[in-house]
Amino acid sequence: MSQTYRTKVNNIYDFDLQQESIEALDSIQESANNYHILSKNKSYKAEIIQRNFNAKQYQIKINGTLYQIAIEDYLDVLIKDLGFEIGASKQVNDIKAPMPGLILDIAVKVGQEVHENDTLLILEAMKMENVITSPRSGVIKSVSVNQGDAVDKNQLLIEFD
């Protein structure tokens, strides 16, 4: 199955890119942040100006023109479709399973204080380990699952005070 990436350029243009298309791209890395790209008999000079790996956002200059690029993979799209967006997640008081899976590890306990982006638990789904992190700072009110539990989509995992 091919991986699809949803790409937004300058917060205006949306593109879906297939993994095969990215791998087939005729590009040469000239230095740490500079690339030479050939596409349809045209030459392009690309430079990565800024990158935020956690947010999957990049600022790239191509032939002198600056572009803001945001990239989402399958899991990002799935989480967004479930209603867990970054802006909205700050108000979340409970964590639900984004997909069915198996709880591999629980990193928190009731009464523990956590900070935004701290690891809460690890959920194995679709043969991948997914680290579920805290959307905000707070205190753990309850942990509704145990290590080794199989969970369903939208099942309550953790509640905040």
DSSP characters over 9-75 = ETTTEEEEEEHHHHHT-EEEE-SSSEEEEEETTEEEEEEEEEEETTTTEEEEEETTEEEEEEEE-HH
pLDDT by residue for the chain (161 residues), tens digit each?
578 888 999 989 998 888 888 888 899 999 999 999 998 889 999 999 999 877 889 999 999 999 999 998 888 877 777 766 554 444 678 999 999 999 999 999 999 999 988 999 999 988 889 999 998 889 999 999 999 999 999 999 999 98
Terminal C-alpha separation, the chain:
41
Rounded to 5 degrees, what are φ and ψ at 121? Answer: -160, 170
DSSP one-letter code for 116: T
User: How big, in percent rounded to 5, are the helix, strand and coil portions of the chain?
Assistant: 10, 50, 35
List pLDDT tens digits, range 103-136: 999 999 999 999 988 999 999 988 889 999 998 8
Q: What is the pLDDT of residue 83?
A: 67
Q: What is the pLDDT of residue 88?
A: 46
Q: How far apart are CA 30 and CA 38, in angstroms?
A: 13
